Amino acid sequence: MGERDIHVPVLLERCLELLAPALDRPGALHLDATLGLGGHAEAVLLAHPRVRLLGLDRDTQALRLAGERLAPFADRTRLVHAVYDELGDVLDGEGIDGALFDLGVSSMQLDDADRGFAYAQDAPLDMRMDQTRGVTAAEVVNTYSHGDLARVLRVYGEEKFASRIAQAILRERAKGELNSSARLAELVRDSIPAPARRTGGHPAKRTFQALRIEVNGELAVLERALPAALDALKPGGRMVVLSYHSLEDRLVKQAIAGRARSSAPVELPFEPPGSEPELKVLTRGAELPDAAEVAANPRAASVRLRAVERRPSADRRQQQQAQPLGEV
């Protein structure tokens, strides 16, 4: 069974449904900012025979496998090795009709034991999505101070026992370098009181999430990427974001909120021209997967989906804001 055979795109039908009105336009350009193994991208290309695809991924292995999968559509695809906060440079001013962000770690990265993302199997502590650059998780656990380690685990993993886990890591590395994902998972488990280990899944889940976010700068990258993608959306263009933990979803919600509100003073009884919301929110809060989706794809269990459409009035509002003082 190959990589593409085991990859099940999360909330695929719902993503296609939300993106369709924006992609059913002549010459539409769709941005898949987190290409992965290309499951969502392939479905978009099949559903929209005239759509052009721009696919980004920081993982060179994912790009290679996605390229093989999308080879039948090579005449209308462009795949680029880039982190998604670099999308502005890649687009170089070109507007997009659709955009999809499928955040977090991919199935391929979790399943490849050598990458060190999974706490259930032993591997070197790497956790880099782009193995051509950046610090590894081993460098983080072996060089960060107790305070910095505890901060990473508490902020990015929302780990209540961050200080105890950080202290255990420091004791372990005093004996020699800590390079094993299995040993790290064991240290985390032993640092958490037994009653707290009985709920919430694997005890090391939050620590591994925190280290992965730190190694890849995921939240900082997302915070830069979302405004850039929204700025690039054409009027009527749509963006769908799939988040997998509360920290990601909070950033997505914040990026949308300001643009989905009118800029007019609340006391005005009417909407002055140019003050209309830039975005129309297409989902009621964050949509959750149903039981059938989770049964078919267990990795969808924690997903939260948000989607927006750029209003046709958004361009007029931007132009008015950009006018020099004194111009009519």
- Is 111 flagged in the annotation as binding? no
How many CB atoms lie under 10 A from the CB of residue 323? Answer: 11
Say if residue 39 carries a ligand binding annotation: yes
Tell me whether residue 202 is annotated as binding: no
Residue 97 known to bind ligand? no
Say if residue 134 carries a ligand binding annotation: no
Cα–Cα distance for residue pair 292/311, rounded to 1 Å: 33
38 annotated to bind ligand:
yes
102 is in an annotated binding site: yes
Residue 235: both structure tokens together: 């009027």
Tokens standing for residue 169: 């890591």
Torsion of CA 282, 288, 291, 293, to 10 degrees: 70
Task: Find, among 30, 11, 175, the residue nearest to 102 by Cα.
Answer: 11
Contact in structure between 258 and 118 (CB atoms under 8 Å): no
For residue 204, the tally of other CB atoms under 10 A from its CB is 25
Q: What is the CA radius of gyration of the chain?
A: 22
User: Which residues define the annotated binding site?
Assistant: 38-40, 57, 84, 102, 109
Q: Which positions make up the binding site for S-adenosyl-L-methionine?
A: 38-40, 57, 84, 102, 109
